[in-house]
A and B are shown apart, each in its own frame.
Chain A
Amino acid sequence: MLYREALNRALDELMEKDENIVILGEDVGLYGGSYRVSEGLVEKYGEKRVIDTPIAELSIVGNAVGMAIGGLRPVAEIMTANFSLLAFDQIINHMSKFHYMSNGKIKLPMVVRFPQGVSRQLAAQHSESYEQMLSAVPGLRVISTSDVNHAYHALKKAILLDDPVVFIEHELLYNKKGEVNFNDTMDPFKARIVKEGKDITIVSYLKILDDVLKSVDAIEKELNCNCEVIDLCSLNPIDYDTLAKSIEKTSRLVMVEEDHKTGGFGSQIVSWVAEELFYSLDAPPLRIAGEDVPIPYNRKLELASIPTVDSITQKVIEWGHKNGL
């Protein structure tokens, strides 16, 4: 099953069971969604439950907030993270805060989904990542999903949850293949140990996690070591327990993210390690992240602005040699 098919299946299964679940967004209906996630759903559930909206992101999320207050379970799709900026007032001031401001009387069982990140030559205004901003908003849960099985279970959980969830996907993951274990009872907010190891903990999430996995073989060979790779899965809350267990075992941390380095999400993980696990460390943590530049259009420059399999391999090896591996 493809990543986008897993998301589609999650939506379909739940919509069939609960008619309070509605989808809204640009081109989610007749067109089937820009990345085909809602393909076939308008035919099955009608235009009242799969709603094509005008190109007005603030109103998409605003409407979803209203629906959620009124008792529906809306799933709003924003075409990409870049356009979510237009909806930030609704997301940050309303979606995240009503539950709190109403002393818990109002619940917002809603999901805002969007893909983000560097795809292929979409240039600076269509290649951004905003998990660092959204994960910093109290009251929101932020899921990042890099795996087909996780995507299926996490979206279902996000829809069924009474809390507002920002559900982050990646443009290059929609055609990723994988198996869904329908009997899985996973907690999608728990970090996933993708590969076990004992010498280095490599933490990542979303698409760049796949690049990390591709670089692991060369790293292990060169450093004669064993890497543990962890997919964060949830950026708020963060599953610190799983991270701590791993880092106490390996005593070395590498944080890999696609986003710009300064203020990027990984800085939270690294600062937490410095605060809480300093005496468990055998090496300064290594952060591998994108350059602090607007993402270039030129393909070569575009690739130079973000971590790649080669650059991850090279940086981890260099760092390993410097730090006793």
Chain B
Amino acid sequence: MVYNVVMPQLSDSMEEGKLIEWKKKVGESVKVGDVIAEVESDKAIMEVQTFHAGVIKELLVKEGSTVPVKTVIAKIESQDVVKGSQKSEQKPKEHSQEKKSVPEEKKEKTLKEPTKEAPHKEQPAEHKESAVAKELNVVPKSLEVPKESRISPKAKELVQEYKLDTKVLFKKYENETIHSQDVIEFIKERYFTPKALKVLNEYNIDIKEFQLDHKIDTEEINLFIHSHNLSKEVSLSSMQKAIIANVTASAQKPVYHIYESVDSRLLEKNKKHSITAWLVKIFAKVIMKYESFRSKVSDSKLLISPNANISVAVADEKNLYMPVIKGAQSLSIQEISQKLEEFKSKLHTTSFSSEEMSGGNFGISNLGMLGLERFDAMINRDESGIVAVGAITDSKLNITLTIDHSLINGYEAALFVKDLKKEMQNPQNFEEA
């Protein structure tokens, strides 16, 4: 295949150019982007690069001579037979290709000029469009808009920038006006697999980041995401926002921690109900003895609840709720277990009402079943404290209490823990009734 190299038009006003020097000889092989000559326009001396790889077949203009713009100055014979034949199904016949490469080179310049503010920084073959055009097997003609279609200026710019085959586009939008968004959709559909497109949109990546000369798959986009370290933007769910607000508020509280281990032999004996259930029951009982554990500050007054309302952390990887078991002191262990089951099943339907989530006095968060030996938890909303329940080691259950110092002082908390320890050893508490 033989390609023509023409005298490029390097500026609006350039009508002819002087060939200063040939950089390649006849018979020399060239790659895409190689400088083959230097020409002088009315403004400056510029390099002429080739759009085609191959062997210089002919140099038609002598050094020092001046020829009009678009005159063929050299011919390059392409050796790239393999590549050529791959695309031959869609490409026009070799013969016409040869002719059309002339307007192509002209188009590279003239199309861009009206929009770019400084159009005269010439890099004849360096533009990404040229590479795109080469691969695109579409040799753009001047854009002919069929009578039944209209195209917006911005959309037209895009069509030309990406050298799209407008036949398909116009067919798709027959009797409609094509807008830039339509063109972008068209480009996306054409050059990205549906899966890739999803990722592209998810990460809000500009299509300009990609060489649009082949179908782009997820693998390529993922590579791009990793190499550019792009973060995925996920908007916060209302629950996540609520959690952030709650824990941030909680972090402001003046708290202290009590690290304790309580006797767990009775717990281990009565495995019919979960540790959490038993703890709700026993904590409720002890809390009933301590007003301050059931109090909260509201409008510079202390509100003391008549019931032990225990909030229980119910969570999976994504969700975290603290629904409240109200009046836990008067519930049987069966009733408590049943409540906890209810909470667990609601976790996946996320259907806790604000009523169910409010009014707690004290919280329980149990992660012992996941093997955590010990941790501490953050106080939920306006509660007085929370117990973080770890694993059992040597018949001892590790618990950490986080206590709001503005409501409960250390001495009182110590008494509370003492009582708690006693109740954990009291078999009456573990009777089912």
Contacts and interface: CB of A to CB of B under 8 A. Distances in A.
Contacts of A282: 152-155, 179-181
A323 B179 CA distance: 8
Contacts of B152: 251, 281-283, 324
B129 interface: no
Given A279-B153, A281-B152, A282-B154, A323 B114 contact: no
B316 to A, nearest CB: 35
Nearest to B173: A324
Nearest to A325: B179
Interface in A275-318: 278-283
A283 B155 CA distance: 10
B182 interface: yes
Interface string A171-183: 0000000000000
Contacts of A251: 152, 154, 179-180
A281 B182 CA distance: 13
Contacts of B155: 282
B177 A323 contact: yes
Nearest to B177: A324
Contacts of B115: 279
A206 B360 CA distance: 53
Contacts of B157: 279-280
B195 to A, nearest CB: 26
Nearest to B117: A276
Contacts of B181: 282, 324
Contacts of A324: 152, 177, 179, 181-182
B158 to A, nearest CB: 9
A278 B153 contact: yes
A282 B179 CA distance: 6
Q: Which of B152, B156, B157 has the most CB of A within 10 A?
A: B152
Q: Which of A251, A279, A280, A283 has the most CB of B within 10 A?
A: A279
Measured as residues with beta carbon below 8 angstroms from the partner, the interface class of chain B is 10 to 19
B140 to A, nearest CB: 17
B179 A280 contact: no
Q: Which of A251, A281, A282 has the most CB of B within 10 A?
A: A282
Contacts of B156: 279
Contacts of B177: 323-324
Interface in A12-45: none
Contacts of A323: 177, 179
Measured as residues with beta carbon below 8 angstroms from the partner, the interface class of chain A is under 10
Contacts of A278: 153
Nearest to B115: A279
B273 to A, nearest CB: 54
Interface in B164-201: 177, 179-182
Nearest to B158: A279
Contacts of A283: 152, 179
A288 to B, nearest CB: 20
Nearest to A280: B154
Interface string B135-159: 0000000000000000011111100
Contacts of B179: 251, 282-283, 323-324
Contacts of B114: 279
Contacts of A281: 152-154
A245 to B, nearest CB: 14
A214 B155 CA distance: 31
Interface string B392-407: 0000000000000000
Q: Which of B115, B157, B179 has the most CB of A within 10 A?
A: B179
Contacts of B180: 251, 282
A233 to B, nearest CB: 25
Contacts of A279: 114-115, 153-154, 156-157
B414 to A, nearest CB: 51
A323 B152 CA distance: 9
Nearest to A283: B152
A281 B155 CA distance: 8
A323 B115 CA distance: 22
A324 B178 CA distance: 8
A283 B154 CA distance: 9
A281 B156 CA distance: 10
Contacts of B154: 251, 279-282
Interface string A242-265: 000000000100000000000000
A278 to B, nearest CB: 5
Interface in A193-215: none
A225 to B, nearest CB: 11
B221 to A, nearest CB: 23
A30 B157 CA distance: 62
Q: Which of B156, B177, B182 has the most CB of A within 10 A?
A: B177
B388 to A, nearest CB: 44
B233 to A, nearest CB: 15
A280 B152 CA distance: 9
B196 to A, nearest CB: 23
Nearest to A324: B179
A316 B431 CA distance: 74
A251 B181 CA distance: 10
Nearest to B152: A282
A64 to B, nearest CB: 41
A280 B180 CA distance: 9
Interface in B290-336: none
A282 B181 CA distance: 9
Contacts of A280: 153-154, 157
Contacts of B182: 324
A281 B114 CA distance: 14
B403 to A, nearest CB: 42
A281 B177 CA distance: 13
B348 to A, nearest CB: 33
A290 B32 CA distance: 58
A279 B117 CA distance: 12
Interface in B211-270: none
A231 to B, nearest CB: 25
A283 B180 CA distance: 10
A104 B85 CA distance: 72
B49 to A, nearest CB: 26
B231 to A, nearest CB: 20
Nearest to A278: B153
B169 to A, nearest CB: 14
9 contacts: A278-B153, A281-B152, A281-B154, A282-B153, A282-B179, A282-B181, A283-B152, A323-B177, A324-B152
Task: State the 3 A-B residue pairs at the shortest beta-carbon distance, nearest first.
Answer: A324-B179, A282-B152, A282-B179
Given A281-B154, A282-B152, A282-B153, 14 more contacts: A251-B179, A251-B180, A279-B154, A279-B156, A279-B157, A280-B153, A280-B157, A281-B152, A282-B154, A282-B155, A283-B179, A323-B179, A324-B152, A324-B179
Interface of A: 251, 278-283, 323-324
Interface of B: 114-115, 152-157, 177, 179-182
